[in-house]
Amino acid sequence: MSNKKSRIIRLTLSYLAILAMVAIVVYPLLWVIGSSFNPGQSLSGSKMFPENPTFKHYAFLFDTEKSNYLLWYWNSMKISVITMVLTVISVSFTAYAFSRYRFYGRKNGLLTFLILQMIPNFAALIAIFVLAIRTGLIDTHLGLILVYVGGQIPMNTYLMKGYLDTIPRELDESAKMDGAGHMRIFFQIVMPLAKPIIAVVALFSFIAPLGDFILARILLRDDQKFTLAVGLYELVAKQFGNEFTKFAAGAVLVAIPIAILFLMFQKYFVSGLTAGGTKG
């Protein structure tokens, strides 16, 4: 009987903890969504469930004569997609090299990546800004993409290497006996088995540019080249802080591509993250 009671208590505490975590996540989300439908401009009078919901804030954002929101959205999607593709390609080759080959400086390289992933990008803002000016990449999307890709490589390489270490080397050896070269083994054997971790890296590298404000604000000058984070901030700042309901509407729309990508890759995430953290 005592075992049954202790089991009930554990389950009750577990469900209470889950409900608390859900409330912490969902409550602010509902407020943002509710605010985006409030007819006013300020959040002071906003309600989670507005009495007279309106779509005028969304209509304002989609009106190209009044707002550059669609242009900012396109800029962010372009930067995020290109960053995702380049990151997946570069990380795949780098992680494969560290996982499958033994070469001089391998351990030091892994240690360097481990240290670099602990340093945030904004810690090198001055160096990044000076480098962008000297290379002529200031106020360009290319410069921003290169910074994002470079910042994504250390952490994701370490993550993917851990996953590739779990793929048996016997598969490589069998393929070599059949006459397969290094590139064929990489593309036809290892990468198909690494789909879960590729999906994880793709999602992480796609989300990072969408949520970044500091780097984009430092490197971009022309409002036609702004990303969503910078554009929405400027929308609020230029209106003396009274456009927060439009800001909420814009923030809601940012979550749509992330949710779509997450649903597309959902089946890969658990195995990709767990296997990638088992070996170093």
Report whether 61 contacts 252 (CB < 8 A): no
Task: Provide the whole-model pTM.
Answer: 0.84
CATH of domain 66-276: 1.10.3720.10
Q: What are phi and psi of 159, to 5 degrees?
A: -65, -45
Tokens of 213: 């404000």
For the chain, the domains span 2-56, 66-276
Q: Annotate 93-104 with b (16+ C-beta within 10 A) or e (fewer).
A: ebbbbbbbeeee
d(CA 70, CA 275): 39
- Angle in degrees, CA 195, 227, 59, rounded to 5: 105
Where the chain has pLDDT below 50, the residues are 276-280
DSSP letter for each residue of 188-208:
IIIHHHTHHHHHHHHHHHHHH
Task: List, in order, residues 6 or more apart from 124 with CB less than 8 Å away.
Answer: none
Give the tokens for residue 5: 């009671």
Per-residue H/E/C for 210-275:
HHCCHHHHHHCCCHHHCCHHHHHHHHHHHCCCCCHHHHHHHHHHHHHHHHHHHHHHHHHHHHHHHH
Q: Are 223 and 69 in contact (CB under 8 A)?
A: no
Q: Are 62 and 188 in contact (CB under 8 A)?
A: no
Query: Looking at residue 85, what is its pLDDT?
Result: 96
- pLDDT tens digits, residue range 127-160? 889 999 999 999 999 999 999 998 899 889 988 9
Report pLDDT digits (tens) over 57-94. 888 888 888 889 999 999 999 999 999 999 999 999 99
Closest CA to 61 of 69, 73, 51, 50: 69
